A = this chain, B = another copy of it.
Amino acid sequence: MNSINQIAKELKVSKSTVSKIINGKAREARISEALEKRVLDYVEKVNFKPNSLARSLATGKSLTIGLIVEDIGDSFFGPMALYIEDQLKSQGYHVLYSSTLGNPIEAKVIMQSMIDKKIEGLIIAPTLDLSNQIKELQELKFPLIIFDRNIDDNQANFIGTTNYGSSKLLCEHLLKNQYKNTGFITIDSEQSQMKDRREAYVDFARENGMQENILSIPYETHKTDAIKSIEKWLLANPTVDSLYFSTNYLCISGLKVLRKNKLNIQNYGIVCFDDHESFDIIFPSITCMEQPLEAMSKEIVKYLLLQIKGKDILSDQIEIPATLIVRESSK
């Protein structure tokens, strides 16, 4: 390994001189072009790369951003992470990411560990129970973006989609298509995006004198045997004429149930919050609200950089509209 010290020794110049030249500050440090060239040539020759840990320690800049999601393998967070990374990369930043799997204890450990690593900003889809940690960071004026789901009484920058409004649009869409008794299948989560979707359903039902049929599946089981609960519930609620799934994976579970029980999918109106790769290849194709992934990721990066550059913490709460994609399942 070669260090700036060795180079200095080899060339019989001072390490500060080498440092300045490497960082393109030769002119302002009034270093002769001859020496500059000599150093740069040598650096090139031995393929010297400065140790970025040392550099970060000295400058206080790590050029690293933390990204904490629920599950990087998920069809929402995975693509979001890709977009975010792509944009941050073009600004010279690296991404240190981690998945919480919804566990607040794990989330706290991850946050602390990232901060210990001197990340310059944090983008987080918070688990429940993270308010204190987030507020601490915010008081320290630490660049911070909350996304996807909000926390109570949030003073930090938030970026997400219009969960309440879009959820109502989905309900409305079903009613317009003559579905008058919608079942709402969701997970039992107090996360804001889930609460908003549910509230909109409830409000809509009340406003229109409709029956409220809600299946709330415990959060922990949602990806394993949610199927069983849905099955039981569907059989117990034969009068329901349409189904609104609050997430795409619940919808997929629901579709499996319908297939398995040889229930005719076409007898139901089906809508879902969030799109999925499979929704337009199956029959009937599934009507859904498509979240604005790219637009959200752009705002996230934009606001984070504003905070980092401006050293001013922002508290804008931004909701980008989702798009209703009408397909066969709701006709």
Contacts from A to B (Cβ < 8 Å): 49-54, 56-57, 62, 64, 71-75, 78-83, 85-86, 89, 94-99, 112-113, 115-118, 249, 252, 255-256, 259, 276-278, 280-283
Which of these, B80, B94, B98, B278, contacts A85 with CB under 8 Å? B98
Cβ of A282: which chain B residues have Cβ within 8 Å of it? 278, 281-283
Say whether, besides A57-B57, A82-B99, A85-B98, A116 and B49 are in contact (CB < 8 Å): yes
Question: In the complex, which residue of chain B has the Cβ closest to the Cβ of A280?
Answer: B256
Q: Which 4 A-B pairs have the closest CB atoms?
A: A278-B278, A73-B79, A78-B78, A73-B82
Q: Judge whether A72 and B72 touch: CB under 8 Å.
A: yes
Which of these, B51, B78, B256, contacts A281 with CB under 8 Å? B256
Cβ of A259: which chain B residues have Cβ within 8 Å of it? 281, 283
Which of these, B52, B71, B83, contacts A118 with CB under 8 Å? B52
- Cα A113 to Cα B54 in complex, Å, equals 14
Q: Judge whether A96 and B98 touch: CB under 8 Å.
A: no
**10 A-B residue pairings within 8 Å (CB atoms):** A49-B115, A53-B118, A54-B57, A57-B57, A64-B96, A75-B277, A94-B96, A94-B113, A249-B277, A276-B277
Question: In the complex, which residue of chain B has the Cβ closest to the Cβ of A258?
Answer: B281
Which of these, B57, B74, B113, contacts A53 with CB under 8 Å? B57
Cβ distance A287 to chain B, nearest Cβ, rounded Å = 16
- Cα A86 to Cα B73 in complex, Å, equals 12
- Cα A99 to Cα B67 in complex, Å, equals 14
Q: Which of A53, A277, A283 has its CB near the most chain B CB atoms (within 10 A)? A: A53
- Cα A116 to Cα B63 in complex, Å, equals 12
- Cα A49 to Cα B111 in complex, Å, equals 13
- Cα A80 to Cα B98 in complex, Å, equals 13
Q: Judge whether A255 and B283 touch: CB under 8 Å.
A: no
Question: In the complex, which residue of chain B has the Cβ closest to the Cβ of A113?
Answer: B94
- Cα A283 to Cα B265 in complex, Å, equals 12
- Cα A95 to Cα B98 in complex, Å, equals 7
Which of these, B62, B78, B89, contacts A72 with CB under 8 Å? B78
Cβ distance A50 to chain B, nearest Cβ, rounded Å = 8
Cβ distance A140 to chain B, nearest Cβ, rounded Å = 10
Cβ of A277: which chain B residues have Cβ within 8 Å of it? 75, 249, 252, 276-278
Cβ of A112: which chain B residues have Cβ within 8 Å of it? 49
Q: Judge whether A116 and B52 touch: CB under 8 Å.
A: yes
Say whether, besides A51-B57, A256-B281, A281-B278, A74 and B85 are in contact (CB < 8 Å): no
Cβ distance A76 to chain B, nearest Cβ, rounded Å = 10
Q: Judge whether A81 and B73 touch: CB under 8 Å.
A: yes
Question: In the complex, which residue of chain B has the Cβ closest to the Cβ of A109?
Answer: B89
- Cα A283 to Cα B83 in complex, Å, equals 32
- Cα A30 to Cα B52 in complex, Å, equals 35
Which of these, B80, B94, B249, B283, contacts A117 with CB under 8 Å? B94
Given contacts A57-B57, A96-B96, 15 further A-B contacts (CB under 8 A): A49-B115, A49-B116, A53-B53, A53-B118, A54-B57, A75-B277, A82-B99, A85-B97, A85-B98, A94-B117, A95-B96, A255-B281, A256-B281, A278-B282, A281-B282
